[in-house]
């Protein structure tokens, strides 16, 4: 026969399955992710300062004032200054502390903010230059371009440890979420827009990244391998990449952009200059005007229209005559 104490503990048995879970979010190897994990721990601990006493008091009051408990009966009691101070003061103090922590952390962990340290004990040397990686979320795969090295890869990201990394991200079609749990938090990627993430990895190893935003049929397979290596190993990897014969130009990108799932890892030894800017401004295809150029032309037209509206009446007439004189010879030539 199963002992009574064992029977009572059986409902907790499923929790043992959690022992095999990979708690990378709370035990990351990147400094930004570590600070975010610490923020979660502090926030939960502060909230438990209220939750745990309340739950204990619920049990205590239910037991103390149960039927036939001979508890003191005070039907006319309606106020206690000490109790009011505890009920309202403690949560208020916790909210103030949480608000202060949130304010400081929001600015300190801003993904656009350049890093000022490698970890809690090491500041970044003044001569250190961040590694720039351009990220494009495709359907349903990830493209990583290393502009300074002139190489690119699909569904594989390799970076050196203890080196600041500056990700510049966009999307080809729909909104996605770039997420490497061991490195930093989730950052959205959107077509026609650029988002950034500054992060650093402190321990070499094989990790994984994924899209955390549903984007269609192949979403569940939109994952990539992430490898942290030493600086020498990264330089050797770059040289190996440069030996690859494949070239990522505009035509190849348009082919790669087509929706596919379970895409294997690809390497490109050369990348067409400014390809990421064309993807960002949605002008990869030949004959397509880039968004930034179109916006610049629109701005100039709006400025000209605003200037004309500010002219006096006779000035507008003179301008109209001048424009007519400029257009008339062109019309004559066309005839």
Of the candidates 113, 169, 104, 177, the one whose C-alpha atom is nearest the C-alpha of residue 140 is 177
Q: Is 68 left (phi over 0), alpha (psi -120 to 50) or beta?
A: left
Spatial separation of the C-alpha atoms in residues 114 and 108, rounded to whole Å: 10
Spatial separation of the C-alpha atoms in residues 275 and 270, rounded to whole Å: 11
Q: Is residue 323 part of a domain?
A: no
Where is the domain boundary, 265, 280, 295?
A: 280
User: Which helix (H) or strand (E) is 42 found in, with range?
Assistant: helix 31-64
Residues 94 and 140 in one domain: no
Where is the domain boundary, 236, 260, 280?
A: 280
CA distances (Å), origin 9, targets 2, 4, 15 = 11, 9, 11
Q: What's the token pair of residue 184?
A: 């930093």
User: Which helix (H) or strand (E) is 198 found in, with range?
Assistant: strand 195-199
Residues 89 and 157 in one domain: no
Q: Is residue 335 part of a domain?
A: no
Q: Say if residues 94 and 50 touch (Cβ distance below 8 Å).
A: yes
Query: What pLDDT is stored for residue 310 in this prediction?
Result: 78
**What sections of 176-219 are H helices per DSSP?**
none
Residues 95 and 130 in one domain: no
Spatial separation of the C-alpha atoms in residues 141 and 158, rounded to whole Å: 16
Backbone phi, psi, residue 52, to 5°: -65, -50
DSSP 256: H
The 3-state DSSP class for residue 157 equals strand
Spatial separation of the C-alpha atoms in residues 67 and 75, rounded to whole Å: 16
- For the chain, first and last CA: distance in Å? 106
Query: What pLDDT is stored for residue 332 in this prediction?
Result: 46
Query: What pLDDT is stored for residue 78 in this prediction?
Result: 83
Query: What pLDDT is stored for residue 333 in this prediction?
Result: 41
Where is the domain boundary, 261, 280, 299?
A: 280
Q: Is residue 5 part of a domain?
A: no
Spatial separation of the C-alpha atoms in residues 215 and 138, rounded to whole Å: 10
Q: Is residue 240 part of a domain?
A: yes
Residues 242 and 148 in one domain: yes
What's the whole-model pTM score? 0.83
Residues 138 and 38 in one domain: no
Residues 178 and 231 in one domain: yes
Spatial separation of the C-alpha atoms in residues 170 and 176, rounded to whole Å: 9
Query: What pLDDT is stored for residue 334 in this prediction?
Result: 45
Residues 91 and 234 in one domain: no
pLDDT in tens, the chain (335 residues): 567 666 666 676 666 665 556 689 999 999 999 999 999 999 999 999 999 999 999 999 888 888 777 778 787 888 888 888 988 998 899 999 999 999 999 999 999 999 999 999 999 998 899 999 999 999 999 999 999 999 999 999 999 999 999 999 999 999 999 999 999 999 999 999 999 999 999 999 999 999 999 999 999 999 999 999 999 999 999 999 999 999 999 999 999 999 999 999 999 999 999 999 999 999 999 989 999 988 988 898 888 888 777 777 666 566 566 656 655 554 444 44
Question: How distant is the alpha carbon of residue 152 from its chain centre?
Answer: 21
Full residue range of the structural domain in which residue 37 is found: 23-66+81-109
Residues 85 and 145 in one domain: no
* Contacts with 101 (C-beta within 8 Å, 6 or more apart), sequence order: 39, 42, 43
Q: For the chain, what is the domain count?
A: 2
């Amino acid at each position: 026969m199963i002992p009574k104490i064992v029977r009572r503990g059986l409902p907790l048995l499923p929790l043992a399955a959690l022992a095999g879970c990979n708690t990378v979010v709370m035990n990351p190897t990147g400094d930004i992710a570590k600070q975010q994990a610490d923020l979660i721990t502090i926030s939960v601990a502060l909230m438990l300062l209220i939750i745990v006493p309340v739950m204990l008091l619920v049990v205590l009051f239910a037991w103390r004032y149960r039927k036939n408990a001979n508890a003191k009966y005070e039907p006319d009691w309606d106020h206690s200054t000490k109790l009011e101070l505890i009920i309202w003061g403690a949560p208020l103090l916790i909210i103030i502390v949480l608000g202060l922590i949130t304010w400081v952390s929001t600015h300190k962990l801003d993904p656009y903010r350049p890093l000022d340290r490698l970890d809690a004990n090491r500041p970044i040397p003044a001569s250190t230059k961040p590694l720039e990686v351009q990220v494009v979320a495709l359907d349903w795969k990830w493209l990583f371009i290393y502009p300074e090295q002139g190489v690119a890869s699909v569904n594989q990201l390799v970076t050196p440890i203890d080196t600041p990394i500056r990700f510049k991200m966009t999307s080809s079609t729909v909104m996605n979420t770039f997420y490497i749990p061991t490195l930093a938090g989730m950052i959205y990627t959107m077509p026609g827009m650029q988002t950034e993430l500054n992060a650093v990895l402190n321990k070499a190893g094989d990790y994984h990244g994924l899209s955390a935003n549903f984007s269609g049929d192949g979403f569940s397979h939109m994952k990539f391998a992430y490898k942290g290596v030493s600086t020498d190993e990264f330089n050797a990897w770059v040289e190996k990449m440069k030996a690859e014969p494949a070239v990522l130009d505009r035509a190849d990108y348009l082919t790669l952009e087509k929706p596919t799932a379970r895409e294997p890892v690809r390497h490109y030894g050369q990348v067409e200059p400014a390809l990421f800017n064309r993807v960002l401004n949605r002008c990869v295809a030949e004959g397509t005007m880039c968004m930034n150029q179109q916006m610049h032309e629109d701005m100039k037209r709006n400025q000209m229209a605003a200037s004309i509206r500010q002219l006096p009446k006779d000035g507008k007439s003179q301008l109209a005559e001048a424009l007519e004189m400029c257009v008339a010879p062109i019309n004559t030539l066309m005839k």
